[in-house]
Amino acid sequence: ITLILCSSKTFAEMEFYSKKLQLNEPFIVENGSVIYFPICLMDALKLKGLNRDGDYVYIELGVDRDQLIHLFNAARREKGFQIRSFSDIGLNELMEMTSLSQDEAALAMKRQYSEPFIISDNNPARAGEIIDEFRSCGFNVVSGGRFFHLMGKTDKGAAVKKLIEIYSTLSSDKVYSMGLGDSENDLPLLLVVDFPVLVRKWDGSWIDSPATEKFYRTEGIGPKGWNEAVLDFLKDKCSQ
C-alpha cells in the first residue's frame, strides 16, 4: 500500500512531513503543481527523462511563481482588486494569521508554483469576479480554507491521475486508489479515485460535493475520520 501525501503545502513543508512520517513515497505539492519522487524510486516506477532536484526527480504540472505574481499584480493594478498575496505578507504577519511557528511559516513561504492570497473585500460577488478574471487568463484558483491559491491550470486531481497512470503500468492487476479530503481544493482529487472520502470537518459538516458522485462520508472528525475510512476500505478489499 502506497501512502501519497497531497497538499497545498510547499516542497519544503512536504519533505519535512514525509521524513517525519518516515515515508519513502512520491508526494504532491502546491495543489497538484508538482509531483516529487524520491530518486531511489526511479527504477521501480520506471521513471525516465525527469528533472532532478537534490534527492528527488519531479513532474512539473504548474507554472513558475514569478509568472503568477506578475499576473496578480497586473490584475490588482488594472482591475482595482482589493487582494493581498504571500508576496505582500511578511513572516510575522503570516504567523499571526495562521498560528504557525516561525520555522513552519518560513517553510510555507518557500513557494515555487502557487501564490496564496486573501480578498479584503468580503463581498462574495467580488470574490467570484476575481476568480473568474484569473481563470479567463488561463490559470486556476482554488480555495484552501484561509487562502485562495492562484496557480497554473492544474489541480490535485490532475496530479493524482498522473500518479495512478504511472502505477497502473507496473502491473496487470487493477490498481485501486483511495483519496481523502475535507476542503474544496480536495474535490478534483476525490473525483479521480476509486474510493473518494469526505472527511468530516471540525464543525461537524462536510464540504459540498456533486450529487451524482458516491462519496464515503466519515462520522469521525479529522484524523479519526481518516482512520475510520482507511480501516473500512481495507476491510472491504480484504473480504473480496
For 159-188, how does the pLDDT look when each residue is reduced to its tens digit (9 = 90+)?
999 999 999 999 888 889 999 999 989 999
* pLDDT at residue 153 in the model: 95
Q: Which residues of the chain have pLDDT under 50?
A: none
* pLDDT at residue 180 in the model: 96
* pLDDT at residue 224 in the model: 96
* pLDDT at residue 212 in the model: 65
Average pLDDT, whole number, for the chain? 92
Output the nine-digit C-alpha cell for 40.
531511489
Element of type H or E holding 66: helix 65-79
CB 15 within 8 A of CB 53: no
Q: Give the number of other Cβ atoms within 10 Å of residue 78's Cβ.
A: 9
From 28, 37, 36, select the one nearest 9 (Cα to Cα): 28
